[in-house]
Amino acid sequence: MQASIMPDSGPPATATPPRRPSFLRSITLELAALLIFVALFNLFAGIGAALNETGLIILGLIMAVTPALLWLLIFYRLDRAEPEPKRLVAGVYLTGLLLAAALHLPIFGVIFDTQSWLGAYWWSQLLGNILVVGMVTAAIIYGAVRVVVFDNPEFDERLDGVIYAVAAGLGVATVSNFVYVWQHGGVDLNIGSIRVVVDTLGYASSAGMLGYFIGQVRFEKTPLIYLPGGVLLAAILTGLYFFLIERTGANSFGGELWRDLLLGIFLTLVMMGAVAWLVRRANEETARVAQLSATGDSWEAKAAVDEGGAA
């Protein structure tokens, strides 16, 4: 009994589907926009010297939100073929943000007091980043998507899982950036802009991986360990990302923060590339099983599906 939601929701194989921008092209565009964001803040870093602490905090908070908004904007562009989910994307983003804001202090500050032990050893940093930072982030992302949009009919293709999860991840990133700016009483514009972009990339890309799994469990029966495996994988990616950034990158006072940025961009491209490939292959497999067109869930418009090439 074939009961797929996904292929039915797509247009017939013979029709020309609405053209959707390439996923990776959108990511590249996003990265370019973030680079421009960093370049602008570095170009006008001198403004910071003229501001008092309140001014620096306000500017820092604007800076904390901007990468997330840029990313959401790019994803709107990616999903323009189906404009309905936009309000839902914003809803998931805000839910992720509120959940992260509510849980940040109790979990990281009180229960785990991560500042007192996370950086003590390399292994505590790695495991702490995975088990605390990664797991809590993954739980928030899953919770936000599950509560706001999972059962909504607008969630009608696997890519939506990625989009909504990234939106929730950006909510977490925004809170992380808020906390960073607030704790430092405002930030230097050049250092701060790179720091918020690097963090945003980390949260968003691992959220994208979790979004793939969420998209899968939305449309298919999966083994019991499938989704927990996805949560674990996303937590590992989050933990590894921040571990690599913290261990191999520059310190807060170093002049090599650009190295962090380049590493962040590289890791994001690798993770998002993997997500794009997985979603495309999953759609092809679903189409092969259903012996239907995969055009409803493909990244690029396809006139027809070559059955032989879908294995």
Partner 1 sequence: MTMWIDRLIKPSPTNEAPGPREQLRNDIAVIVTVLFALFLALGIRNQVYTASRLVSIHEGGLRIAHPERWVLQSNDGAGLIAVNLGSPSTYDSRVEVTSRPLHPDETLERARFERGLKLATELSSYREMEAAQMEVLNGIPALVTTYGFVADPTRDAGVTGLPVVVEAQDILFVKGGMLYVVSLRADAVDWEANARDFAVITNSLRLRPAKSPSAATSADGFSSSAATLEGGN
Give contact residues for partner 1 (rule: CB under 8 A): 1-7, 112-113, 116-117, 119-121, 124, 127-128, 130-132, 135-136, 138-139, 142, 146, 150, 216-228, 231-232, 235, 278, 281-282, 285-286, 289-290
In the complex, the smallest distance separating the C-beta of residue 73 from partner 1, rounded to whole angstroms, is 30
Decide if 274 contacts 212 (C-beta within 8 A): no
- Distance, in Å, from the CA atom of 198 to the CA atom of 213, rounded to the nearest integer, reads 24
In the complex, the smallest distance separating the C-beta of residue 211 from partner 1, rounded to whole angstroms, is 14
Nearer to partner 1, 83 or 223 (CB): 223
In the complex, the smallest distance separating the C-beta of residue 220 from partner 1, rounded to whole angstroms, is 5
Nearer to partner 1, 7 or 60 (CB): 7
Nearer to partner 1, 14 or 116 (CB): 116
Each as own residue / partner, the long-range contacts of residues 224-233 (CB below 8 Å, 24 or more positions apart, any chain) are 231/135, 231/138, 231/139, 231/142, 233/209
In the complex, the smallest distance separating the C-beta of residue 154 from partner 1, rounded to whole angstroms, is 16
Nearer to partner 1, 66 or 293 (CB): 293
- Distance, in Å, from the CA atom of 92 to the CA atom of 152, rounded to the nearest integer, reads 12
Burial 254-285, CB ≥16 within 10 A → b, else e: eeebeebbebbbebbbebbeebbebbbebbbe
Nearer to partner 1, 179 or 263 (CB): 179
In 3D space, the residue among 157, 143, 136, 97 whose CA is nearest the CA of residue 298 turns out to be 157
